Structures are given as structure tokens and as C-alpha cells.
Amino acid sequence: MDLPVPLPTVADVEEAARRLAGVASHTPLLSSPALDAITGGRVFLKAETLQRTGSFKFRGAYNKLSSIPTERRVGGVVAFSSGNHAQGVAAAAQLLGMPCVIVMPSDAPRGKRERTAALGAEIVLYDRVHDDREAIARSIAAERGATLVPPYDDALIIAGQGTAGREIVEDLSAVGLEPDVVVVTASGGGLTAGIALAVKARVPHATLYTAEPQGFDDHARSFKSGQREQNAALTGTICDALMARMPGEMTFAINRSLVDAGVVASDEEVGAAVAFAFTELKLVVEPGGAVALAALMSRKIDITGKVAVAVLSGGNIDPDLFYRLVA
């Protein structure tokens, strides 16, 4: 697969870390004896739920926007997102004083739409089933002279997300450990690609997995076939943040060589993980952010006697859904 632009490298992740220093939160690695007992391993959870805007997306968004030359910032930025990328881009644009338009599906959780608007973004709604969100965003960007900020298939976005992987290795090293297994929630694959670059550069023997909701397992199928596979469904999971149709071109070019396999969790298993995170760890995790935890809790990966990390990628959950899952 020939790509028109260079793929990001671990050097780009290091540069992103310098840009994000003092702006993005260095989120903690949390552990739980109860989780270790369930899984048979020593598990650490990378709590990106505690990141600025409530998800990892702020990392890539700020890295991308802060790299835009000053003379091009007047036109602002345009992004398309169901919610977490939207909030990350809106927050970064607010910090940098840039106009921001977000193209969001009309069925995106109300809380995500409201928080995006509260960050100063102009919201344009579209129909997830019938409209082409990227075409809408590109049209707006061309009309306004704005910079398009993709959710995952962008070198600066991937590098920014990779700073989470850099922190994982650093924080484990501080307590004399290395990750044997790292499990990352996947939609377009940008978080996985960035973390894979950072982790494999420092711990080459680490095994990486994507975790996806049942019915949206495009990464798992793509790893098996060796080419990008597409999901049949557009909707139909409580994991609203993980419904990309297929892996990105750039992300898959990275992940197919660095990620070992993909695992899948059902909505029921994800709901149990959301409830566990709340009752045992006192964390609010959205379904899309809990799939890696769900995969470990349901023993989709054997981590017996191993050090494993699951990324809790976001915590922006609709209150009514959260109540139903934890009650």
C-alpha cells in the first residue's frame, strides 16, 4: 500500500510530547487487586478518562492544531466526530484562539454535543446513515479556508495519541516493570498506532492487541486477512465512540506490523466493565472506553502471570446509559 504522505515515527511521538508538556494531563496508571484476581495477571489501567475533555483525543488534537502555522490559523479548523475528537479539537482550538467547526452525527450523545458547543465550537449535524461526514467537512473547510483535522488518519494526530503509550512505559519503568501485553480500544486505529509506535520502540517484546465491540471488529478481521476490512453495520452498539467503518490507511499501515491481533467484546461484557470501573475504581468510563478492560475481564487474552495494560480511552457517557449499566 503506497501512501501519499510519510508515516509518523517514534521521533514524532517525542516531538508531540514536547508540545503537549504542561498542556495535556499525564494520566495515571491504576491497579486493582480485584481485577488481578479476575484476570490472573498484574493489570494496570491507563486512565485517559481523566485526560482533558475526558478522553485521549485531546492529545492528538492539540498536537495537530499547535503545529498549524500562525498565518493559517485565522481560517480555523474543521473536524468530523461523534463526540470525543469533537471535544478534543474544540478545546485545543479554544486554547489556541482558533475558530472551530465540528460536523457531528445527529444521534451523537446529547452530552457530547453540549460539551462541544460549550467549548466554543460551531456544530453542524448530519445523518450518520445517509450523509458523508467527511465530504461535508471538506466542503466547509474549503469554503472558509480552514484546516481539516481528521479523527485518526493524520501523522500529527497519531503522534499526539502516542504520548499515552510513552507515559505507559515510563510509569511502569518507574516501578521496575515492563508491559508484556497492551490492549487498546480501536475505532479508526489512531490511538493504537500511536501507542504501538511508542511502546514497541522501548519494549520490543510487548504484545499489542486492539479491542473492539462485537459487530465492529474491522481491525480484528483486517489483521487476519492482511487488508482493510469494512464493517457491515453503521450503528448497533452501545460503544458510540467505536463505530468507524474500517481502519484508516495510515493507521493500518502501522498497526498491521506492530499489533499482534484484535479481540472483541460484546455489549454485555462492555457494560460489566463500565460497572466494574465504577464500583471498584470509582471511575466513570464510557462504553467505547471500556472495551479493552472488558476484553481482559472476559479472558479474551490470556495474561496469566503477565504485566498487562488496558487503555480506558474515554469517560464521556450519557448519564441515563451510565445509570442503566451500573444499576
271-301 tens-digit pLDDT: 999 999 999 999 999 999 999 999 999 999 9
pLDDT band at 3 (very low <50, low <70, confident <90, very high): low
Whole-number pLDDT of residue 196: 98
Among the listed residues 255, 72, 262, 245, the one whose alpha carbon sits nearest the alpha carbon of residue 158: 255
CA angle 151, 116, 70 (to 5 degrees): 65
Whole-number pLDDT of residue 1: 45
Question: Cα–Cα distance between 314 and 216 in angstroms, integer?
Answer: 18
CA angle 238, 86, 201 (to 5 degrees): 85
CATH number assigned to the domain with residue range 10-56+154-326, chosen from the 4 options 3.40.50.300, 3.40.50.1100, 3.40.50.720, 3.50.50.60 = 3.40.50.1100
117-122 contacts, C-beta under 8 A, 24 or more apart:
119/53, 119/87, 119/90, 119/91, 119/93, 119/94, 120/90, 120/93, 120/94, 121/86, 121/89, 121/90, 121/93
Comparing 83 with 30, the larger pLDDT belongs to 30
Residues 297 and 39: beta-carbon distance below 8 Å: yes
Strand blocks (E) in 12-170:
29-31, 42-47, 77-80, 100-105, 122-126, 147-148
**pLDDT by residue (tens digit) across 174-187?**
999 999 999 999 99
* Average pLDDT rounded to a whole number, residues 99-110: 90
Task: List, in order, residues 6 or more apart from 18 with CB less than 8 Å away.
Answer: none
Topology match between the domains 10-56+154-326 and 58-148: yes
The residue extents of the domains of the chain are: 10-56+154-326, 58-148
CATH architecture group of domain 58-148: 3-Layer(aba) Sandwich (3.40)
Share of the chain above pLDDT 70, in %: 99
Q: Is the pLDDT score of 255 beyond 50? A: yes
* Average pLDDT rounded to a whole number, residues 141-151: 96
Collapsed DSSP state (helix, strand, coil) of residue 88: helix
Helix (H) or strand (E) holding 311: strand 307-312
**pLDDT by residue (tens digit) across 75-85?**
999 999 878 99
Residues 16 and 163: beta-carbon distance below 8 Å: yes
144 burial type by CB count under 10 A (0-12 exposed, 13-18 middle, 19+ buried): middle
pLDDT band at 4 (very low <50, low <70, confident <90, very high): low
Whole-number pLDDT of residue 283: 97
Q: Is the pLDDT score of 2 beyond 60? A: no
